[in-house]
Structure 1
């Protein structure tokens, strides 16, 4: 046996006997590489699952709570690792060899890998994502737990039948540095993803509480929804650059910045906000007058007299902002979610989160932004142009999740973090300013989170071809190099 020693648990309780049999058979060819293979199955299956000349040990799952049995097995195992295989999944022939090459090389407590579906498609899983894990068990049907670490956190808890692997992943995976995502196919999945239950909700709520965080956790379809309460009532400054432009929106002429500000003030449910508008000298006086009329004392008007530079304008707005948090937003947006500030602020106040982005839609309702996507030295948008309601196989667009970056068309950052990283770089007057900001935030060790629960329209045309200045492209590639080659959160 190469690498750290491993025991395989095939969890078949509650699964069809055909799925259990196939899962067990997938392990037989690799049984010599496990110290032990244990099948945990419904009592009625024992006689039907006889495996002649097999080292597999079959154990009947109890009718009630199964944590006692699992803790007994945990106490008995001499292996460094427990590999958990849910029936409905089958180990690939290469799985154990892959584990032998990788797991023993890293000081980790939890691992998982990719899955091949019945139609041959590979479900690639993201890098370790603690915020996402609170809402969604994205790890798949094969995962591994370090035995001594599992014992040290108390083993399997009662009352969580059906959610034990999720609960353990939450407790061992809170520190993403202790988690390994293996970018190889470890299993074949032959059954649909199971629905979440009250046990999953309870496991997530307990994990949140263990981190000293208060949040309301509720079932939301195939995922969980976490609502983080606001700590205090900090002033939020909404910083908007503008030239006072007009556009036709839904067949009617719109003065973009005026309508954006009006919509925010009429619909936003969070009260302590100010509107900081950075207006070019060319902005028509009628637009300025309308802003004053709409926003009144909440408006802070800042002039911009230089050549166009998005970064410079946003930095100047941030200088004049009085808020503890900044919302960086374009002037061509329209609010959908009245509680957008509460949603973003609740996340932005969580430990370790440096920047929060939102779901943006084009005027026709298709998706414009589901987070940044960095690949092949380019930066784009996840789910760009997708129909509303479309999602990937993991359900990524329905949960709060870590991303590599977010667009400054709508994002929240604390003022302290903004200035700690130097704000926007003036080297990026038109493009890549938010990419650079995102990567600077991540370089401090903070994460960036995108949420689907704060939604806006962004009236930028999806057919628009952005004019990329070669110098800006060369600068971002020179500055960030390999960070733009592949995206760990969207594989």
Structure 2
């Protein structure tokens, strides 16, 4: 997507599209050691494909043209749709981190906007790319012997095939034959291919290895029917799904099969690398969190590699043959309803080759419609009364849960800060039905005359609870819950420097907090400049804990920024949320004994959420609700209070095992410090790479339920 700065620059420079004198303009979006991506157009002739050159060290190291659709550039009113480019860089060029390159118009030799650019050389990418080059056959054989001794279950891999380019199909099958795990079968279902080269590749590999089985049902019936035939013919207890043009890493089956050894896990998924047509050209490293059903409902965030028990796949009836797209999401949703536990393997085990003929790229409207139907059907079984609508971006969805009746006790601690407190109170009143809440303001010895007059004048709009003594955020909130709102089944902890931005916010949070499986809910908080302040808490990030996506733009050109893998706008499991806006059922608050008053200032909200999770409840971040938080305006005044070494030490001692083990909802392949959701540059902590297993709360005999049993 064009940044606001670039779009403004385009409009200011050109105004409406025009012909005549001009030149090539463009922008470099990303520059990695393997490829450069961006857009370019000729302002004098916008329909012309622009030839580009990449210069490094005095030589041309790559050439290409603008031949990729960029609807964001077209919608800005400049140029045709095909203005994007991707220029692949040779692995033979020995880039070092910090090297620069220039992208030039080949016709004039002039650099485009954003050039020269710095090449990002991530050691983790290099290690992943090169790790097999140093793996000797002896070492690979040792892995195979070790796996034989483990007696891990066998895996049937189902691969529908249809007119696959021969080199791609050869690479896919060869990646299976090269697995360290030897107990496998590859069921290639030739779905009526008309290209004789496809049959030739299949027959050659079937003759080479008897574990490669080729099924030819006859006429082309579609991916779902072909997959179902493979499921019916599977001989092993585990079932894996693989596209006919993708690649498994050698350790994929070795790793995934081991997850099922204890008999508890029914579904497992791994991380994957997204490539272009060249599987060694990496577009994205898709590192996922541990299983979160709510996240999957908002955005099907895992795609490959998926392995499940063959019996489960048959039990749910395989894929829906009436669907030509989104059939994989529909299948996963039905399987999740019956799965006992889901495991996430935080390793890149699959290479997903993407290309312009990929179905999901060309049928977006169908994907949206079919996915909404699949979600609606699944939710009707889990929780009748839910509604599903398109989300803020492609392939994201907004799930509305049935409202749960009951008044909410809103607790706002304060000391002076009248202008912020007034904004908070008035925004609550402006966007909330007065019958839905009871407002309690905990006044910590305000001595500003104007603040005292304001509090005294609130009358029945709010109840004022005086609080004296040393500042103790945990005790202030606990006292408010003990002394007020006896008839309120919900409690919402809210800072005195926030602003509610829209109607429906309280009902949305209440509908989530009212579910029996949920213990606490928190929304997105943004600074006054619309940068993200809070989108959930990552345990162990930048020390003890830190807010996710901090300082990321919440909006792009007025539209919501979906963030990495749709995480900013989704509802998803997190380890904790901030008490700047935190809702929970009062019964859950009482069950966990409220805030720990020994943590007077710091980490008391994170500690509360971790104890909520320990009691078996989910903690959810809801990206659909956005609240403005003027934290930066009050931080300096409270700087002394924010230095809380005693709280930090106590929190670290209590939760050391959880911190050392890694936040399950933050992938250990991401950086543990600095900016979050960025591929780490050093090696991951080995113990954090263990599979993360999450119980679904269901038995195999019946579907799980969000509603109370």
- TM-score norm. by structure 2 comes to 0.63
Equivalent residue number for residue 452 of structure 1: 623
Cα shift at 1:385: 1.1
Q: 1:15/1:424 Cα in 2 relative to 1: closer, same or farther (>3 Å)?
A: farther
SS in 1 for 2:621: strand
Query: Residue 396 of structure 2 aligns with which residue?
Result: 223
Count matched residues.
481
C-alpha change, 1:261 and 1:27, in structure 2 (3 Å) is: same
Displacement of 1:101: 3.5
Task: Note the C-alpha offset of 1:45.
Answer: 5.0
Q: Which moved more, 1:356-365 or 1:457-466?
A: 457-466
Question: For residues 326 and 332 of structure 1, what CA distance do their matches in structure 2 show?
Answer: 18
In the TM superposition, 1:92-131 aligns within 5 A as 92-118=249-275, 119-120=281-282, 122-131=285-294
1:91 deviates by 0.8
Query: Partner residue of 1:471?
Result: 646
Instruction: Return 5+ residue gaps in structure 1 as ranges.
Output: 247-254
Q: Deviations over 1:327-347 (max 9, x none)?
A: 111000011232111211111
User: Deviations for 1:280-307, whole angstroms, at most 9, x for unmatched residues?
Assistant: 12254532443465x5424121110121
1:487 is the counterpart of 2:663: yes
Q: Are 2:187 and 2:230, in contact at CA under 8 Å, matched by a contact in 1?
A: no
- Residue among 278, 286, 295 paired with 2:450: 286
Deviates more, 1:281-290 or 1:419-428: 281-290
- The whole-number CA distance in structure 1 between the counterparts of 2:466 and 2:162 is 67
1:362 maps onto 2:520 in alignment:
no
- The corresponding residue for 1:316 is 479
Alignment of 1:178 onto 2:341: yes
Q: Say whether residues 1:342 and 2:500 are aligned partners.
A: no
* Corresponding residue to 2:436 among 248, 252, 272: 272
Matching of residues 6-45 of structure 1 within 5 Å: 6-12=155-161, 22-30=171-179, 33=182, 35-40=184-189, 43-45=192-194
Contact 1:110 1:169 in 2 (8 A): no
Q: Could you say what secondary structure the match of 2:377 adopts?
A: helix
2:312 to 149, 153, 159: 149
- For 2:193 and 2:162, the matched residues in 1 are separated by 10
1:435 aligns with 2:606: yes
User: What is the alpha-carbon distance in structure 1 between the residues aligned to residue 383 and residue 163 of structure 2?
Assistant: 34
> Relative to structure 1, is the Cα distance of residues 141 and 41 closer, same or farther in structure 2, using a 3 angstrom cutoff?
farther
* TM-superposed deviation, 1:61: 8.8
Structure 2 unaligned residues grouped into runs of 5+: 1-147, 207-211, 276-280, 556-560, 668-709
Match of 1:387 among 553, 562, 577: 553
- Is 2:413 the partner of 1:241? yes
Counterpart Cα distance in 1 of 2:180 and 2:658: 39
Larger RCO of the pair (alpha carbons < 8 Å, separation 6+): 1
For residue 368 of structure 1, report the CA deviation from its aligned partner.
Answer: 0.5
SS in 2 for 1:234: coil
**1:191 is the counterpart of 2:359:** no
1:12 Cα deviation after fit? 4.9
- 2:205 aligns to what SS in structure 1? coil
Q: For the structure 1 residues 100 and 387, does the alpha-carbon distance in structure 2 shift closer, same or farther, using more than 3 Å as the test?
A: same
Who is 2:135 aligned against? none
1:58 to partner: Cα distance = 5.1
1:105 shift after superposition: 3.8
Assess, with a 3 A threshold, how the Cα gap between structure 1 residues 56 and 487 changes in structure 2: closer, same or farther: same
Cα distance in 2, alignment partners of residues 64 and 296 from structure 1: 71
Aligned-residue offset at 1:414: 0.6
Higher alpha-carbon Rg: 2
CA contact (8 A) 2:441 2:464 kept: yes
Greater Cα shift, 135-144 or 423-432: 135-144
The equivalent position to 1:83 in structure 2, one of 240, 261, 284, is 240
2:686 corresponding residue in structure 1: none
Taking the aligned partners of 2:545 and 2:384, their CA distance within structure 1 comes to 33
Q: CA deviation at 1:128?
A: 1.0
Greater shift, 132-141 or 357-366, is seen at 132-141
The alignment partner of 2:477 has SS state of: helix
Q: Which residue of 1 aligns with 2:299?
A: 136
CA distance in 2, matches of 1:372, 1:420: 22
Q: Say if 1:176 and 1:271 are closer, same or farther in 2 by CA, change over 3 A.
A: farther
Please give the root-mean-square deviation of Cα atoms over the aligned residues, in Å: 2.8
Q: Give distance in 2, aligned partners of 1:425 and 1:278.
A: 18
Residue 397 to residue 18, structure 1, CA distance change in 2 (3 Å):
farther
Residues 108-150 of structure 1 show CA distances to partners (whole Å, capped at 9, x for unaligned) of 1101101123355532111011111112211222101201122
Aligned pair in 2 of structure 1 residues 26, 341: CA closer, same or farther (>3 Å)?
same
For residues 571 and 162 of structure 2, the distance between their equivalents in structure 1, rounded to whole angstroms, comes to: 31
Q: Secondary structure at the match of 2:345?
A: strand
Give the alignment's TM-score, normalised by structure 1.
0.89
Structure 2 distance, partners of 1:5, 1:78, is 9
Check 1:3–1:32 CA distance in 2 against 1; reply closer, same or farther (3 A cut): closer
